[in-house]
Structure 1
Amino acid sequence: MPHAIASDGVRLYYEETGSGRTVIFVHEFAGSHESWEPQMRHFGRRYRCVAFAARGYPPSDVPEQASSYSQAQAADDIAAVLDHLGEEKAHVVGLSMGGFATLHFGFRHPGKARSLCVGGCGYGAELDQRERFRGEADVIAAALKRDGMEAFADRYAYGPTRVQFENKDPRGFAEFRDMLSQHSALGSANTQLGVQKERPSLYELVDEMRALTVPTLIITGDEDWPCLLPSILMKQNIPSAALSVIPNSGHTINIEEPDEYNRLLGTFLAQVDSGRWPMRDPRSLAASITGMKP
């Protein structure tokens, strides 16, 4: 089984398919490397596609201490996978927890990023929701340690931004819930405590966003309520960013709406690779609403 080695020695399992420019897929908290199968099959026809399991998600290693998990480490783990592949740059595509890691990869390793696709990014970011989100991370970690993954999956899979997936595709949703139930309870609990709970708010990272010039696509579902305003925040402040909103959709957009997601991502990658992805025209930031000041 192929593994990359992180900076602290943790082994990160990955799968790859195809050839061409490299695209690395970074999964969400309730997903795994397997969550990207619709994208691996689609984009593997024209790219070298790599999906890896985050630390805490077997077949990757599961460090026993929460101190081995952090937002910075999650970003650096992407870089470790890229270095292991022998590539200088990659398109990096992440969802939710993976979207945060992708954004921070852009902050920490901009020279290694050909582009960034930041999906479903924003949970706990709004400043008035910070303590509530941190409290829920503690509740989730305790439930995982107490009740195990099977009981946790029965509750977490039916969250308010995931029921959209069940309504559209009961079979796909059942597969998602079953895969979630097989994750490591220890790894998931430590991820909640070390990564989710402790990551900085996006609203505290505006200066970093304004300095980011890597081509960036932000994608969210319009019923992924915790991500809507943070997505606008990123669009407003990252000068190389575009924002796409998928209608009538929740959080797991890459498997809930794979055709639309693949279309948006494919157009983005093609524009970047052809050198046609724009920076924001500074004239669009004029203080006037209409351009006709009184």
Structure 2
Amino acid sequence: MPFVATRAGRVFYEQRGSGRPIVMLPATLHDHRDFDPVAARFASRYRTIAVDWPGHGRSDEPDPAQRVSASLLAGVLADLVDDLDLGPAVLVGNSVGGYAASRLALDRPAAVAGLVLVNAGGFSRQTVLSRTACALLGRPAVTRRVLPHLVRAYLRPVNDHDRAVAERVRARARTVEGARTAAALWHSFTTPAFDLRADGPRLTVPTLLTWGTRDVLLPLKAGRQTHAVLPGARFHPFATGHVVFASDPDGFTALVEPFLDTVFQTSPPDPRPPTASLPQGPAGPRDLS
């Protein structure tokens, strides 16, 4: 199986297709399988790489002495990009995956052709409530007890795929290792390194910001705050939960495919048979740029 050696141990990735690279980065306790419905479609034209973070999916458990953090995941992403020698890639980042993708784009813009951020962390204001939630969920015992009950509330699953996503996350959150990893990440969300608001104007790569408006962890208000500090981004809300591409894969791909064409400045022949225009899903995208 394909692994990359990183500063946090071996990281698993699933690769499909060929051509210009797209790297897909999941949320906390989620894994590469979240992206299956959209990765299959993108792979018909691009090289798609879906990643498992350390302590997630098929990747190695990090050393207990090495505290997992959002900043560590950004470093792991840099290791993976270097090892695979990708050249400029489009990064599709969900939640903490969006933070890691943005951090790489800020630190090494030449490595990033564009960003697709999905309910991304790091750009919205912390409140007393959010800091309290992060402090509580930053304790493994609390995470193990509470997070399995939060999963359905933030995912709002509507199809078999995202129901399977929810069950995987709930099962992982109930394990000692999963609770420890999730708690360490939640703890890191209140650290200064996670706050990218002041850096937003420096994010100059083409950016598409999508937001599931039914997400209780990062609601639409957080999406609007993120858009406000990313003035060059295009903003598209969906009536979904936290993982837009799992709940509305047709709407998501219909929105992202033209963005990829623009970013890569190429329109290769589509090997799929001609079809009617793609459906927009339960809500369809709405451009608020």
Q: Shorter-chain TM-score: which interval?
A: 0.7 to 0.9
Aligned residue in 2 for 1:131: 131
Please say if 1:157 is aligned against 2:151. yes
Q: Shift of the alpha carbon at 1:237?
A: 2.4
Structure 1 residues 222 and 24, CA gap change in structure 2 (3 angstroms)? same
**Which letter maps to 2:236?**
S
CA distance in 1, matches of 2:16, 2:197: 36
Query: Given the two structures, how large is their TM-score scaled by the length of structure 2?
Result: 0.81
**Which residue of the other structure, out of 205, 227, 230, is the alignment partner of 1:235?**
227
User: In the alignment, is the contact (CA less than 8 A) between 2:28 and 2:96 conserved in 1?
Assistant: yes
Letter in 2 for 1:113: V
More divergent stretch after superposition (200-209 vs 47-56)? 200-209
Per the alignment, residue 222 of structure 1 pairs with 213
User: TM-score if structure 1 supplies the norm length?
Assistant: 0.80
**Offset of residue 203 of structure 1:** 9.5
Counterpart of 1:13? 12
> CA-to-partner distance for each residue in 1:210-246, whole Å, 9 max, x for gaps?
1110111111012225242232223222243111111
SS at match of 1:16: strand
Are the equivalent residues in 2 in contact too, given 1:5–1:11 (CA < 8 A)? yes
RMSD of equivalent CA atoms: 2.6
| Inter-partner Cα distance in structure 1 for 2:33 and 2:81 | 19
Instruction: Structure 1: give runs of 5+ residues left out of the alignment.
Output: 276-294
Which amino acid counterpart does residue 252 of structure 2 have in structure 1? Y
Which residue of structure 2 aligns with residue 268 of structure 1?
259
**SS of the counterpart of 2:138?**
helix
- Partner of 1:127, secondary structure, is coil
Paired residue type of 2:150: Y
Unaligned runs of 5+ in 2: 267-289
Whole-angstrom distance in 1 between the partners of 2:53 and 2:257: 24
The residue identity in structure 1 corresponding to 2:5 is: I
- Alpha-carbon contact 2:201-2:230 (below 8 Å) kept: yes
**2:183 maps to 1:183:** no
Structure 1 residue 192 corresponds to structure 2 residue 182: yes
Q: Would the alpha carbon gap of residues 21 and 192 (structure 1) be closer, same or farther in structure 2, given more than 3 Å must change?
A: same
| Distance (whole Å) between structure 2 residues aligned to residue 187 and residue 104 of structure 1 | 26
Per-residue deviation, residues 56-77 of structure 1 (Å, max 9, x unmatched): 1142111142633122211121
Rounded to whole Å, the distance in 2 between the matches of 1:195 and 1:110 is 25
Larger Rg: 1
Render the CA deviation track for 1:169-223: whole Å, top value 9, x for unaligned: 2x33432233224537344323333322213479943321111101111110122
Length, aligned pairs only: 262
Distance in 2 of aligned mates of 1:235 and 1:194: 27
CA distance in 2, matches of 1:86, 1:102: 16
Q: SS where residue 62 of structure 1 aligns?
A: coil
| 1:249 alignment counterpart | 240
Cα distance in 1 for partners of 2:235, 2:131 equals: 27
Residue identity opposite 1:230 in structure 2: A
Greater helix proportion: 1
**SS in structure 2 at match of 1:49:** strand
Supply the distance in 2 between the matched residues of 1:206 and 1:123 (Cα, whole angstroms).
7
For residue 96 of structure 1, report the CA deviation from its aligned partner: 1.3
* Structure 1: distance between partners of 2:177 and 2:208: 29
* Matches of 1:72 and 1:87, distance apart in 2: 21
2:138 corresponds to which letter in structure 1? Answer: D
Q: What secondary structure, in the 3-state scheme, does the structure 1 residue paired with 2:253 have?
A: helix
- 1:23 is displaced (CA, Å) by 0.3
Q: Is the 8 A contact 1:234 1:241 kept in 2?
A: no
* Residue identity matched to 1:77: V
Distance change >3 Å, CA 239–CA 131, structure 1 → 2 = closer
**CA shift at 1:79, angstroms?**
1.6
Question: Which is further off, 221-230 or 106-115?
Answer: 221-230
2:272 match: none
- Give the deviation of 1:272 after TM superposition: 1.2
CA distance in 1 between partners of 2:40 and 2:89 (Å): 18
Aligned 8 A contact 2:92 2:115 in 1: yes
For residues 88 and 183 of structure 2, the distance between their equivalents in structure 1, rounded to whole angstroms, comes to: 30
The residue correspondences of 1:19-30 to structure 2 (distance < 5 A) are: 19-30=18-29
The AA in structure 2 aligned to 1:195 is L
Deviation at 1:123, TM superposition (A): 8.3
1:249/1:66 CA distance change after superposition, 3 Å: farther
- 1:135 shift after superposition: 2.5
- Alpha-carbon distance, 1:29 to partner: 1.5
Determine if contact 1:212/1:239 at 8 Å carries over to the other structure: no
